[in-house]
Amino acid sequence: MTQKPLVTRPPAPPGAGGIVVTGLRRSFGDVHAVSDMTFSARPGRVTALIGPNGAGKTTLLLMLATLLAPDAGTISVAGHDPVTSPEAVRRVTGWMPDVLGSWNTLSVRRAIRTTALLYGMSAERATERAEELISLVSLDALANAQTRSLSRGQKQRLSLARALVHDPSVLLLDEPASGLDPAARVALRELVRGLARDGRTVLVSSHVLAELEELADDAVFVEAGSTVSAERLARAASAARPWRIRAIGAPDALALALSELQVPRSAVSTIGDSVVVSVTSEDVAADLLAGLVQRGVRVTTFAPAVGDFERTFLDLDREPHAGRPGGGTAAYPAGHDGPRESGDAR
Amino acid sequence: MIPFTRGLRIVVGLELAQRVRGVAVYVLLGLFTALVAAVTLLLWATSNNSGMDGGTGTGGYLFSTIVYFVLLLGTLLAPALGGAAVNGDREAGTLATTQVTLVSTSQIVIGKFLASWITSLAFLVVSLPFLLFSFTLGELPPRTVLVSLLVLVIELAVVSAVGVGLSAVIGRPLFSVATTYLVVAALSIGTLIAFGLGGLAVQTEQRNTYIGVDAAYYEEGETGAPDCLPPEVYTTQVPRFDLVWGFLAANPYVVLADASGGDFDASGSPVDLFGAFALGARAAQIPPEAETVYDECAALRSGSMEDPAPTPEDIWNSTTPSWFVGLGAHVVLAAGLLVWGIARTRTPARRLPSGQRVA
């Protein structure tokens, strides 16, 4: 799976599917929840919406879901404008909110059936559809339970089922994985991947970045109400990133080899039984691995310590709007001016 | 777009299943039934024991009392049942998930209003056996029965609409329920207070003349023509309720009474509570006389006492009905609040009250 953060691509021509957002702005009084967002999400792909709390992700999704009108900017959802033709957008959009509301006294089956009716399905079709979705989200055992008795994770699945009732071509999922157990997360991932494979546009916001890495094809980073520019993303991508190295054999072999390879000690830290080295690029990482193997270090693990999304997210978070690539921590290689204290390796 | 009535039906069904919490409402209905039953029995028993004209008037008073009971209970409960319909859903996170479907905001708000109205009508339904019983006791013409029930049903709709409308206009459920109660209280009790205070505040002078009889007349055994004393003139301040009776016209209990009353027995007295209440309101329309003369002397000389006081029926016939004005104002208020509520709930939302979330 490619995980190149994708922010700005040429807007799709009007009438095309997917989501196209340009120059979006929305404030609540003095609070500029969304100040400038431009991105697109394409059909057949899962697009991750990544950003810290309060970055404007939920406000953006509310505008896409036809609930909020933007102050400025344009939105196209499957070729329709949510402001001028909300009806058309609602027909093709499934929205799973971050607030887990459910009709407390209704059974799971009746809640889904009612949603189907609200989408204009006939009574028979709605009943059928409820059964399909109950098994799709694995709530069979709870189909007759009142929704108020559901756990958070189960409500999450009910909410997903409700979003899928009318077989939408665009899916807006706001924190879909929160509260799900690992098995349900895997199931959700498979389900969402499958939905995208069928040609649907899926926009997912989540804080669980590791999970988005496995789920999303593209990513949109938002920060303080704005989508992050391509340049800043490129800078973040070129910043140093930690690599996790584990080796077996002589305990000091790895440390010795690292110091022989002129890795500054400040760029090395030990976490548990593994060593984490801050490395500026993939080329350097490859050279480092070759060097270690050459020196007879029996490497068992050599991998980025964090995913791409997480690294970018953290880097943007750490250095908001500052143009300094790489952050303040030492990285390898850091020039060859530093004094080597080879004595301590022994 | 879902056809309007179909969307309404779905929303009403959802609302009745969701908001009408089974047990609580059934307990209330049970209590209400017991109360109405007790009142029916007591009224019926007392009228039989006291031999009140062999039961004349019992049916009318019984019927009107039950109707007033339903109005009282309905106006007390409707705000609680429907006063958080929209903002309560918003807080529970179920409003937005309904709004992204194909039902319109009008269908959602009006559906909630209908559901709240239907719930308050349940109180009328359980009291039907007692209404029927009191009707079979006789006296009340079908017209009165029909009109009073119709006005009752409309007034319950008004309270439901005010509750649901305010729940869409005001953000917080507690506040909108309280405001609905305030509106009900303003109409039911506030109008009475305004009427009373208004009448007392605007007072005019009344000139009273009294022509008495020389005391010797009585001492001589009340024979012969009495000697008249010179007229005594004194002035008093009298309240002008005739200027503020309009406040009463806005009272739902008076509206119900004024629309339904008008049945009198042979002696010109009202045969039900409607007539009794309405007479009180109607009598306020009559302005106080600027000058009153009580000529005791002339009365004694002519041998006939003063003019007989007008009967309730005379008062009724000499005054103007006002129920349609009050009812019309109520309906306008209710419809206005619903329309305002729909406008405030419409999506995509442009302006939001501060602190309010869409979802």
Query: Is A4 within the bounds of a domain?
Result: no
Of A63, A86, A103, the CB nearest to B94: A103
Encode pLDDT of B310-356 as tens digits. 888 888 888 889 999 999 999 999 999 999 999 999 989 888 766 66
- Does residue A152 or residue B190 have the better pLDDT? B190
Check B17 against A97: CB less than 8 A apart: no
Contact list in B for residue A95 (CB cut-off 8 A) is: 97, 100
CA dist B118 and B125 (Å) reads: 10
Contact list in A for residue B98 (CB cut-off 8 A) is: 118
Q: Does B23 touch chain A (CB under 8 A)?
A: no
What local confidence, expressed as pLDDT, does residue B55 receive? Answer: 46
What local confidence, expressed as pLDDT, does residue B50 receive? Answer: 52
Predicted confidence (pLDDT) at residue A10 exceeds the cutoff of 80: no
Neighbours of A237 (CB within 10 A): 16
Of B93, B103, B352, the CB nearest to A101: B93
ipTM: 0.83
Check A69 against B348: CB less than 8 A apart: yes
> B48 pLDDT band (50/70/90 cuts)?
low
What local confidence, expressed as pLDDT, does residue A36 receive? Answer: 92
Question: Which are the contacts of B127, defined by CB distance < 8 A and separation ≥ 6?
Answer: B32, B33, B36, B66, B69, B70
Encode pLDDT of B204-239 as tens digits. 888 888 888 877 777 777 777 777 888 888 888 888
Instruction: Say if residues B254 and B326 touch (Cβ distance below 8 Å).
Output: yes
Check A106 against B98: CB less than 8 A apart: no
Q: Do A154 and A55 share a structural domain?
A: yes
What local confidence, expressed as pLDDT, does residue A334 receive? Answer: 56
Query: Is A10 within the bounds of a domain?
Result: no
Encode pLDDT of B71-106 as tens digits. 998 888 888 888 889 999 998 889 999 999 999 999
CA dist A97 and A60 (Å) reads: 12
Torsion sign, CA atoms A219, A224, A227, A231? negative
Q: Which residues 100-119 on chain A approach chain B with CB closer than 8 angstroms?
A: 100-106, 110, 114-115, 117-119
CA dist B7 and A31 (Å) reads: 36
CA dist A164 and A26 (Å) reads: 27
Of B17, B102, B354, the CB nearest to A105: B17
Predicted confidence (pLDDT) at residue B246 exceeds the cutoff of 70: yes
Q: Do A134 and A60 share a structural domain?
A: yes
Q: Do A150 and A91 share a structural domain?
A: yes
What local confidence, expressed as pLDDT, does residue B46 receive? Answer: 76
Query: Is A86 within the bounds of a domain?
Result: yes
Give the residue carrying structure tokens 């006791």.
Answer: B137
Contact list in B for residue A25 (CB cut-off 8 A) is: none
**DSSP assignment of A103-170, as one string?**
-TTSBHHHHHHHHHHHTT--HHHHHHHHHHHHHHTT-GGGTTSBGGG--HHHHHHHHHHHHTTT--SE
What local confidence, expressed as pLDDT, does residue B8 receive? Answer: 95
Taking alpha carbons only, the member of B62, B249, B192 closest to residue B138 is B62
Give the mutation candidate from B9, B98, B101 for the A interface (greatest A CB count, under 10 A): B101
CATH at residue A74: 3.40.50.300
Q: Which residue of A has its CA nearest to B1?
A: A87
Helix segments in chain A, DSSP class H: 57-64, 86-92, 108-118, 123-136, 152-163, 182-197, 209-215, 230-238, 253-260, 282-294, 308-318
What local confidence, expressed as pLDDT, does residue B354 receive? Answer: 62
The count of C-alpha atoms lying within 13 angstroms of the C-alpha of A11, restricted to the half-sphere facing its C-beta, is 17
Q: Return the bridge partners of B333, or none.
A: none
Predicted confidence (pLDDT) at residue A203 exceeds the cutoff of 50: yes
Check A97 against B1: CB less than 8 A apart: no
Percentage of chain B beyond pLDDT 70 is: 92
Average pLDDT, integer, range A241-270: 84
What local confidence, expressed as pLDDT, does residue A310 receive? Answer: 78
Pairing of strands A241-248, A298-304: antiparallel
Pairing of strands A170-174, A19-28: unpaired
Q: Does B347 touch chain A (CB under 8 A)?
A: yes
Predicted confidence (pLDDT) at residue A95 exceeds the cutoff of 90: yes
Check B102 against A86: CB less than 8 A apart: no
Tell me the two tokens of residue A29: 């009084």
Average pLDDT, integer, range A15-24: 85
Q: Which of A197, A228, A259 is the last residue of a domain?
A: A228
Tell me the two tokens of residue B85: 């319909």
Pairing of strands A268-271, A31-41: unpaired
What local confidence, expressed as pLDDT, does residue A326 receive? Answer: 40
What local confidence, expressed as pLDDT, does residue B59 receive? Answer: 79
Predicted confidence (pLDDT) at residue A340 exceeds the cutoff of 60: no
Q: Do A317 and A185 share a structural domain?
A: no
Query: Is A3 within the bounds of a domain?
Result: no
Give me the torsion for CA of A140, A143, A145, A149, rounded to 10°. Answer: 60
- Does residue A13 or residue B322 have the better pLDDT? B322
Distances (CA, A) of B348 to A65, A70, A210, A311, B51: 9, 9, 34, 36, 68
Check A91 against B92: CB less than 8 A apart: no
Torsions phi, psi for A133 (to 5 deg)? -70, -35
What local confidence, expressed as pLDDT, does residue A167 receive? Answer: 94
Predicted confidence (pLDDT) at residue A344 exceeds the cutoff of 70: no
Q: Do A268 and A141 share a structural domain?
A: no
Q: Do A221 and A152 share a structural domain?
A: yes
Contact list in A for residue B17 (CB cut-off 8 A) is: 103, 105-106, 110
Percentage of chain A beyond pLDDT 90 is: 42
Query: Is A158 within the bounds of a domain?
Result: yes
Check A67 against B93: CB less than 8 A apart: no
Domain boundaries, chain B: 4-194+323-345, 203-238+288-308
Percentage of chain B beyond pLDDT 90 is: 40
What local confidence, expressed as pLDDT, does residue A6 receive? Answer: 42
- Does residue A271 or residue B72 have the better pLDDT? B72
CA dist B50 and B165 (Å) reads: 48
Instruction: Say if residues B11 and B112 touch (Cβ distance below 8 Å).
Output: yes
CA dist A189 and A133 (Å) reads: 16
Tell me the two tokens of residue A292: 């270690």
What local confidence, expressed as pLDDT, does residue B12 receive? Answer: 94
The amino acid at A310: E
Predicted confidence (pLDDT) at residue B22 exceeds the cutoff of 80: no
Q: Do A298 and A224 share a structural domain?
A: no
Taking alpha carbons only, the member of A7, A50, A66, A5 closest to residue A175 is A50
- DSSP at A217: S
Total number of domains in chain A:
2
What's the gap in Å between the CA of B62 and the closest CA on chain A?
39
Q: What integer best gives the mean pLDDT of chain A? A: 83
Q: Does A59 touch chain B (CB under 8 A)?
A: no
Q: At what angle do helices B85-92 and B142-169 cross, to 10 degrees?
A: 40
Taking alpha carbons only, the member of B91, B71, B73 closest to residue B81 is B73
3-class secondary structure, B271: coil
Neighbours of B343 (CB within 10 A): 13
Q: Which residue of A has its CA nearest to B350?
A: A69
Query: Is A171 within the bounds of a domain?
Result: yes
Longest dimension (CA), chain A: 81
Contact list in B for residue A103 (CB cut-off 8 A) is: 14, 17-18, 94
CA dist B251 and B245 (Å) reads: 11
CA dist A111 and A124 (Å) reads: 15
3-class secondary structure, A281: coil
Q: Do A215 and A263 share a structural domain?
A: no
> B305 pLDDT band (50/70/90 cuts)?
low
Ramachandran category for residue B247: left, alpha or beta (phi over 0 → left; psi -120 to 50 → alpha): alpha
Taking alpha carbons only, the member of B245, B219, B346, B229 closest to residue B294 is B229
Average pLDDT, integer, range B243-268: 89
Residue B245, H or E segment: helix B241-249
Q: Which of A177, A195, A228 is the last residue of a domain?
A: A228
Domain region containing A194: 19-228
- Does residue A176 or residue A10 have the better pLDDT? A176
Query: Is A5 within the bounds of a domain?
Result: no
Q: Which of A183, A204, A228 is the last residue of a domain?
A: A228
Neighbours of B340 (CB within 10 A): 14
What local confidence, expressed as pLDDT, does residue B270 receive? Answer: 85
Contact list in A for residue B15 (CB cut-off 8 A) is: none
Q: Do A223 and A301 share a structural domain?
A: no
Rounded-to-5 percentages of helix, strand, coil across chain A: 35, 25, 40
Pairing of strands B291-295, B203-211: parallel
What local confidence, expressed as pLDDT, does residue B20 receive? Answer: 65
Average pLDDT, integer, range A59-65: 94
Q: Do A80 and A36 share a structural domain?
A: yes
Taking alpha carbons only, the member of B298, B313, B88 closest to residue B211 is B298
Q: At what angle do helices B252-260 and B323-345 cross, to 10 degrees?
A: 130
Neighbours of B231 (CB within 10 A): 13
CA dist A304 and A281 (Å) reads: 11
Q: Do A340 and A204 share a structural domain?
A: no
Q: Do A220 and A81 share a structural domain?
A: yes
